[in-house]
Structure 1
Amino acid sequence: MKIDEIDRKLIAYLQANCLLTVQDLAERVGLSASPCARRIRLLEKAGVIKGYVAVIDLMKVGLPISVFVSVKLERQREEELDRFSEAIMRWPEVADCYLMTGQRDYLLRVVVSDLASFERFLKDKLTRLEGVASIESSFALGEVKRSLVVPLESRRPV
């Protein structure tokens, strides 16, 4: 799918406020409602827009602690990578997980209510997972920036 300037504008507006009506979006990008709705459906169908979310204040829902956890596996074979990924997908404490290059295989962002919750996560889940060679944790002291917004600048169509 080719993404043009109007698509980029739609995506930018939806990232800023996904509750805008199709009519509001259409006016902002210079389309009528029908073509605007069609473009949004095409972006969704193509997987460019994967979903819509509410951004939650973690402090206000009782999850003030973010821990960045680096994990090294014993081996980096496909079956071990798959096993680790499948386990991570089941654990709600893991907000983000990235397969990495470098000294560690995975970087996780774990959100918890308190230190005891993180200790339980570590002891009951992560350290019990077969194939984990080492774990290093770093506690975030504060959140400087957190964003789900993709930086779409004006440029030639993709």
Structure 2
Amino acid sequence: MDDTDRRILSQLQKDCAQPLDALAERVKLSRNALWRRIRRLEDDGVIRGRVALLDAGKMGVGLSTFVMVKAREHTAEWLTDFRRVVSEMPEITGAYRMSGDLDYMLRVRVASVADYDRFYQRFIGRLKASDVSASFVMEEIKETTEVPV
């Protein structure tokens, strides 16, 4: 990966729907050379996909919650169950195995605290955990999907 690839990736992270001609001009490449580089970055797995970023509030799920989970047991079976439950619950928009005192961190999007409680009841009904606690986001100071290039 060279500086030109980084310029392409930086531009695509800002707006992947911009016209190819405009992008080629911004990164100082011909349209064909740009297209070949984008295809290579996709084939290499650097570009994993192209998405539309939605406004969570306008979609009715404006409450962002971080949920901390301590595993009841540390077995392959429990982890398989955890992964299945996480993948089947659309409110969970991120799931991370952590170091330190807690085992997993989930990012959950819901409409309200009452909706979170319904999510929580379903979650603990499907997965046995030692502890589940939540922190509600009061203000999103910075949220981005951009990876530093």
TM-score (norm 1): 0.89
Structure 1 gap segments, 5+ residues each: 153-158
Spell out the pairing of 1:75-154 with structure 2 (5 A cutoff): 75-124=73-122, 126-152=123-149
Aligned to 2:29: 31
In structure 1, the partner of 2:12 is 14
State how far apart, in whole Å, the 2-side matches of 1:48 and 1:108 are: 25
CA–CA distance in 2 between the matches of 1:53 and 1:65?
Answer: 21
Tell me which of the two structures has the higher relative contact order, counting C-alpha pairs closer than 8 angstroms and 6 or more residues apart: 1
Pairwise CA RMSD: 1.2
1:11 offset after TM fit, Å?
0.3
Q: TM-score, normalised by structure 2?
A: 0.94
Equivalent pairs: percent with the same residue? 38
Task: Work out the CA distance in 1 between the residues paired with 2:143 and 2:104.
Answer: 20
Hey, which bits of structure 1, 4+ residues long, moved more than 3 A?
none
**SS of residue matched to 2:96:** strand
62-71 or 129-138: which moved more?
A: 129-138
Which digits, 9 at most, give the CA deviation of each residue in 1:77-106, with x for residues without a partner?
222212201210111101111111111111
Size of the aligned set, in residue pairs, is 149
1:108 CA drift (Å): 0.6
Q: Is the 8 A contact 2:85 2:127 kept in 1?
A: no
